[in-house]
Amino acid sequence: MKFIVQGLAGKRLAGTIPVLGSKNACLKVFAAAILTSEPVIIKNAPLIEDIFRMRELLASLGAEVENRGRVFRIVAKNIKTRALDDGIAKSLRASIVLAGPMLARFGEVQFSYPGGCVIGKRPIDLFLDGFKKLGARVTSDKQGNRFTVKAKRLRGANICFRLVSVGGTETLMMAATLAAGRTTLHNAAQEPEIIALADFLNKCGARIKGAGTNTITVDGVRSLHGGVFQTPPDRLETGSFAIMGALLGDKLKITNCNPAHILGVIEHLESMGASIKKGRTWLEVTRAKKPLPVNLKTHEYPGFPTDLQAPFAVLLTQAYGTSMLFETVFDGRLTYLEDLNRMGADIVPCDAHRAVFHGPRSLRDREADAPDLRAGLAFIFAALIAKGESIIHNAYNIDRGYEKIEDRFSGIGVNIKRV
């Protein structure tokens, strides 16, 4: 499937676009449902491909998963296997977070190296080391592709992450809820999704303190009960739409969001000259006529999110002057820049992490492949400022994280069709 996008030819985006529930918060609560045999209800879930894959993965383990609209009900009472389905896990990096709850509740989990989009195939050493520190035995096949992790009951431990990992923090935090004794996680990730997960687990009987700071302590309990999770607004969707507003908006209103979660992004957009009004649950963004250049360095929360680096790069192609981009969180997350150059941008890659932008440059229509969710969205933004009609292949990668983007963008003046 592909998207066909018409350039706006000087038109501006206006109207209101509501933000949906957070993909990355919701996915982790699907995994947390494995920690209890009682029902877990998830409200305000986004209806996106990654959530559908997670649902399939839970169902393949034997969990009952029902949904009505945006409400999912999960009962992990009759889990029949300890092995995560290979096919699904290979298409979804977030599948690895299930390993923590499976191990904690059943004393065993088997899984293959997780996959996903181009940046999905990243290391899992922090997970394996963490499981070992919690007292588990980790074995793998000869190729190091399939893992078995076992522990009668996990034991609390002092763990310091070598680098800050969102999934690593969430997985070990979940595993530690049922461990014997206290676990302390140092150099933990501080994303709002981690606070949301810890709050939910505490409502289910866990004893977690410090989520949202870099030191989290978890006092293990014997069992957890069920609970209700209200998915918070997606801060990455909020940030994506705010960047879109800074590029093309004329009082583009973004609602149902929490601007407090994207302060780093707002700061960058304002320093480029965008005009941003904000309330507690909304933002209104108008583009700068002549965007100023800015240096961007991605950083763990509360810094500028790596997930918004690609959409922001499109804005940098329109800035009057020279900007520098420095991706510090992931390797291989700048390959999409070649496509922006083919569209007419003037971006000089320095190495795998840094690039220099000269602007502004007019962009031309092109065909491109969405390499991952966020770069896929960046190509839609690039197509909107380009002349003519662009085609973005591999719509699935965009559907992984943005629900029915063509319908939602049509409402603010975008001419986009799914074919």
253 binds ligand EPZ per the rule CB under 6 A? no
Put the strands of the sheet holding 13-18 in their side by side order.
Answer: 13-18, 249-255, 283-286, 275-278
Q: What tokens appear for 340 in the block?
A: 């922006």
Q: Is 284 helix (H, G, I), strand (E, B) or coil?
A: strand
Q: Which of 117, 160, 204, 257 is catalytic?
A: 117
Residues 169-228 that bind ligand EPZ (CB under 6 A): 189
Asked if 154 and 179 count as a contact pair (C-beta separation under 8 A), the reply is yes
Instruction: Considering only the C-alpha atoms of the chain, give the largest distance between any 2 of them, rounded to a whole number of Å.
Output: 64
In angstroms, the CA 347 to CA 331 distance is 18
330 binds ligand EPZ per the rule CB under 6 A? yes
Site string for ligand EPZ, 255-284 (x = CB under 6 A): ------------------------------
Relative to beta strand 354-359, strand 346-349 is antiparallel
Binds ligand EPZ (CB under 6 A): choice among 26, 40, 51, 124: 124
Whether the ω angle into residue 305 lies within 30 degrees of 0, i.e. cis, is: no
In angstroms, the CA 331 to CA 308 distance is 15
Query: How many angstroms separate the Cα of 176 from the Cα of each of 28, 184, 200?
Result: 15, 9, 15
127 binds ligand EPZ per the rule CB under 6 A? yes
132 binds ligand EPZ per the rule CB under 6 A? no
Judged by CB under 6 A, the stretch of 160-168, 196-204, 208-216, 410-418 that binds ligand EPZ is 160-168
Q: Is 32 helix (H, G, I), strand (E, B) or coil?
A: helix
373 binds ligand EPZ per the rule CB under 6 A? yes
Residue with tokens 């687990």: 201
Q: Which lies closer to ligand EPZ via its Cβ, residue 96 or residue 414?
A: 96
Judged by CB under 6 A, the stretch of 20-28, 146-154, 223-231, 381-389 that binds ligand EPZ is 20-28
CB of residue 302 to ligand EPZ, shortest distance in Å: 12
Binds ligand EPZ (CB under 6 A): choice among 64, 66, 125, 407: 125
CB of residue 27 to ligand EPZ, shortest distance in Å: 5
Interior angle at CA 64, CA 60 and CA 68, nearest 5: 115
Judged by CB under 6 A, the stretch of 159-167, 218-226, 342-350, 351-359 that binds ligand EPZ is 159-167
293 binds ligand EPZ per the rule CB under 6 A? no
Binds ligand EPZ (CB under 6 A): choice among 2, 12, 122, 404: 122
303 binds ligand EPZ per the rule CB under 6 A? no
CB of residue 290 to ligand EPZ, shortest distance in Å: 30
Other CB atoms within 10 Å distance of the CB of residue 174: 30
In angstroms, the CA 183 to CA 201 distance is 15
In angstroms, the CA 134 to CA 114 distance is 21
CA terminus-to-terminus distance, the chain:
6
Other CB atoms within 10 Å distance of the CB of residue 399: 23
CB of residue 127 to ligand EPZ, shortest distance in Å: 5
Q: Which lies closer to ligand EPZ via its Cβ, residue 66 or residue 125?
A: 125
Q: Is 117 a catalytic residue?
A: yes
374 binds ligand EPZ per the rule CB under 6 A? yes
- In the complex, the residues that contact ligand EPZ under the rule CB under 6 A are 23-24, 27, 93-94, 122-127, 163, 165-168, 189, 236, 306-307, 329-330, 373-374, 401
Q: What amino acid positions are annotated as catalytic residues?
A: 117
